[in-house]
């Protein structure tokens, strides 16, 4: 066990990771004294790095999904920390706030604070809208908001958490944000940090246009690409900080919100970008390969 722990603690961060926007958040691992005898099954779980991805709801029921994380003697959990709820006649809100346990303490605190702040603001803004509607004698209006999360990728190296928000006022709109985390090097990865320069914007955008055109050979698929009615709303290129995540197979996925590049019935479009197109503009093959 000591051998594995020493090897883990002596891992050096590759030089190519210096390009990441987030500087390495490292602190010396606290050595925990264990007075009780650890049985073989617990040792095996520690060495394998078992991760519990759970959700605790109001009735305190817990469900766990297992996957591997290379953190010796540590358990990483993603769970529902707080739920903001409201049911007031025609107004409904249910906002589930994720929290991560078992990461580097600084990175963990930063992410958890961000998740809580996001949902607190959503709830506060929703309450303000309700007050304004009631003051205008429009309390018969129907309005709702819901948020939640999912673990999109969970590998030895990467953890991707997606947080979605659904706003309902007549029809619904959905936005999704992703955090892609390097668990081994304790880093939050950004899209620009993966590439040498901004050339990736054009390369990815052109590939997405090609995929859109291919999909639109099926008349049921529609993207705002060359639609005269849409004008400036047609898709031209991704934002340099476009929503993205990396899959368990080390592929880059570019994600769009509902109504961002297509009619609502198309949902939240996602496009897998071929690795071959990116290899010359990547800083390294640390994550995409």
Q: Please indicate whether the domains covering 2-189 and 195-278 agree at the CATH topology level.
A: no
Q: What is the CATH number that goes with domain 2-189? A: 3.30.565.40
Interior/surface letters 10-30, b for 16+ CB within 10 angstroms, e for the rest: eeeeeeebeebebeebeeeee
**How many angstroms separate the CA atoms of 254 and 112, rounded?**
24
Q: Are 136 and 188 within 8 A, CB to CB?
A: no
**Sequence ranges of the domains in the chain:** 2-189, 195-278
Compute how many other C-beta atoms are within 10 angstroms of the C-beta atom of residue 52. Answer: 19
pLDDT at 13 over 50: no
- The residues, ordered by sequence, that sit 6+ positions from 126 with a Cβ below 8 Å of its Cβ are 86, 91, 93, 143, 145
| Confidence category of residue 226, pLDDT binned at 50, 70, 90 | confident
Backbone angles phi, psi at 172, to 5 degrees: -120, 150
Q: What is the DSSP letter of 11?
A: P
Domain 195-278: CATH architecture, name and number where available: Alpha-Beta Complex (3.90)
Q: Are 194 and 287 within 8 A, CB to CB?
A: yes
**How many angstroms separate the CA atoms of 133 and 237, rounded?**
37
**How many angstroms separate the CA atoms of 31 and 67, rounded?**
24
pLDDT at 85 over 70: yes
pLDDT digits (tens, 9 = 90+) for 93-125: 999 999 999 888 999 999 999 999 999 999 999
Closest by CA to 13, choosing from 244, 187, 206, 180, is 187
pLDDT digits (tens, 9 = 90+) for 119-166: 999 999 999 999 999 999 887 889 999 999 999 999 989 999 999 999
Determine which helix (DSSP H) or strand (DSSP E) holds 232, and give its type and residue range.
none
pLDDT digits (tens, 9 = 90+) for 26-79: 443 443 444 343 343 333 333 333 333 333 333 323 222 323 334 333 567 899
pLDDT of residue 156: 87
Tokens of 40: 């073989």
């Amino acid at each position: 066990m000591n051998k594995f722990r020493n090897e883990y603690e002596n891992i050096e961060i590759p030089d190519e990771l210096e390009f990441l926007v987030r500087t390495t958040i490292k602190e010396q691992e606290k050595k925990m004294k264990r007075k009780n005898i650890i049985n073989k099954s617990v040792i095996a779980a520690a060495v394998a790095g078992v991760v519990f991805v759970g959700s605790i709801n109001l009735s305190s029921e817990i469900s766990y999904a297992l996957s591997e994380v290379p953190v010796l003697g540590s358990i990483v959990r993603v769970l529902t920390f707080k739920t903001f709820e409201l049911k007031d006649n025609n107004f409904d809100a249910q906002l589930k706030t994720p929290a991560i346990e078992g990461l580097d303490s600084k990175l963990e605190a930063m992410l958890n604070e961000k998740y809580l702040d996001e949902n607190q603001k959503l709830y506060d803004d929703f309450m303000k809208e309700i007050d304004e509607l009631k003051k205008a004698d429009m309390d018969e209006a129907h309005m709702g908001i819901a948020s939640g999360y999912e673990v999109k990728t969970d590998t030895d190296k990467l953890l991707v958490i997606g947080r979605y928000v659904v706003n309902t006022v007549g029809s619904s709109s959905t936005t999704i944000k992703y955090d892609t985390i390097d668990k081994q090097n304790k880093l939050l990865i950004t899209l620009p940090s993966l590439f040498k320069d901004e050339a990736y914007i054009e390369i990815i955008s052109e590939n997405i246009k090609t995929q859109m055109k291919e999909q639109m050979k099926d008349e049921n698929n529609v993207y705002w690409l060359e639609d005269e009615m849409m004008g400036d709303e047609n898709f031209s290129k991704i934002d340099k900080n476009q929503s993205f995540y990396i899959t368990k197979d080390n592929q880059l996925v570019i994600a769009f919100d509902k109504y961002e590049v297509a009619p609502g019935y198309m949902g939240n479009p996602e496009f897998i970008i071929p690795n071959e197109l990116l290899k010359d503009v990547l800083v390294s093959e640390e994550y995409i390969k």
